[in-house]
A and B are shown apart, each in its own frame.
Chain A
Amino acid sequence: MTADWAALVLRVRDDQDRAAFAALFRHFAPRVKAFLMKSGADATLAEECAQDVMATLWQKAHLFDPSRASVATWVFTIARNRRIDALRKARRPEPEELPWGPEPEPDQAEVLEAQQDTERLGAALSQLPDKQRALIERAFYGDLSHSEIAAETGLPLGTIKSRIRLALDRLRQQMS
């Protein structure tokens, strides 16, 4: 059922593979469009921005690190930034990139973990009480101010944080 999206992004990165890109486009572009419409864009703007987001995926494929984030998470961050730019016309400073790039041959177990995080979180989201899930969704659609956000999400984020933290520690050690 679940396609190996990370492998498709790596094919875009390494071979500029258009068939791989088309598969990613068919899956993610309609989701990005819906996300942007829920954030207040009309259908025309949302469609245009969804194309921008997918073009950015092509252009920045070399920056994608499949051992730290799933493709869905990475696409979400690109779509979020496009939303801030297009709908709020604001700048969004980004954290400094890590001193090492993505590893050319990522550890397959870590890649699988990152993809599974998204599935596990999706399942956990669907089990939340409606009211709580609606609040999280509104936050991510840009519909809440920071003071209205309650960060107690009820989602299992600790394991994801720990896994990423361990990977960062290990890579910093290798670097020094």
Chain B
Amino acid sequence: MSIRHHLTDQLLMAYAAGDLPEAFNLVVATHVSLCDECRARLASYEAVGGAMLEGADVAEMSDDSLAACLDRIDGLSQANARRPLKRAGIFPAPLADYIGGGPNKVKWRNLGMGVKQAILPTGKDASARLLYIPGGQAVPDHGHRGLELTLVLQGAFRDETDRFGPGDIEIADEAMEHTPIAESGEVCICLAATDAPLRFNAIIPRLAQPFLRI
């Protein structure tokens, strides 16, 4: 996979620090699963956290805390640690974990013109969804009032700025006006997240139209 569009430093640092809403965490974790470049950049920001922890103040633990911790460890075995999550087809492990499997497990909802979406269960401060866009169709507008991340998992889309293929992430803020269209050929499947409030009543009729613009 040759990835050309990466995460920003701001998003990687926020993810390393633990400052992102769950839906953005999911997109970042999914992209990093596919991209060694961003995995290495993320590790460098986590090293900042390590250096802070090492150099920071200490808060004394109570006298019996080590003994209490050792007691707890007796009840744990290293082998019982949670098994690593598995990739499922085009879904890297963190995404497969939300779906409970690969693309055939997604509960799609039709939006018209062959376009489908599935909203994923995340915390309410941002929302995440999978999008299924046949070639030639517009990618449904899923934000534009906040920060919007769109990660391609299969196929590709193009907009005024560039082409986005598997593993590429487009990061758009409210200032960006663009009309992404899925390339002909393989169906384009994307994971998208936005921190704009979901407005179901307003969005769904809009999504039902092809080549929608606001």
Contact = CB atoms under 8 A, between A and B. Distances in A.
* A and B are partners in one complex rather than unrelated chains: yes
Interface of A: 13, 16, 18, 21-22, 25-26, 28-35, 37-38, 43, 46-47, 50-51, 54-55, 58-63, 68-70, 72-77, 79-81, 83-84, 90-97, 117-119, 121-122, 124-126, 136-137, 139-140, 142, 144-147, 149-153, 155, 157-158, 160-162, 164-165, 168-169, 172
Interface in B112-132: 122-123
B50 A168 contact: no
A139 B15 CA distance: 10
**B contacts with A: majority SS:** helix
A29 B53 contact: no
B30 interface: yes
Interface of B: 8-14, 17-22, 24-26, 29-30, 32-33, 36-37, 39-62, 65-66, 68-70, 72-73, 76-78, 80-81, 84-85, 87, 92-95, 97-98, 122-123, 147
A157 B48 contact: yes
B24 A146 contact: yes
Nearest to A56: B81
Contacts of A91: 22, 25, 122-123
**A contacts with B: majority SS:** helix
A168 B39 contact: yes
A155 B83 CA distance: 35
Contacts of A139: 13-14, 17, 19
Contact of A25 (B30, B46, B66, B77): B66
A34 B57 contact: yes
Contacts of B22: 90-93
Contacts of B85: 96-97
Contacts of B47: 69-70, 73, 117-118, 121, 157, 160
A31 to B, nearest CB: 5
A169 B68 CA distance: 42
Given A55-B72, A81-B18, A165-B36, A43 B59 contact: yes
B20 A75 contact: no
Contacts of A30: 58-61
Contact of A96 (B48, B72, B94): B94
B36 A151 contact: no
Nearest to B50: A73
B10 A31 contact: no
A94 B73 CA distance: 24
A157 B45 contact: yes
The listed residue with most B CB atoms (<10 A of its CB), out of A31, A61, A81, A152, is: A31
A151 B8 contact: yes
A39 to B, nearest CB: 9
7 contacts: A32-B53, A55-B72, A55-B73, A59-B78, A74-B50, A95-B94, A125-B55
Contact of A169 (B36, B43, B70, B123): B36
A90 B123 contact: yes
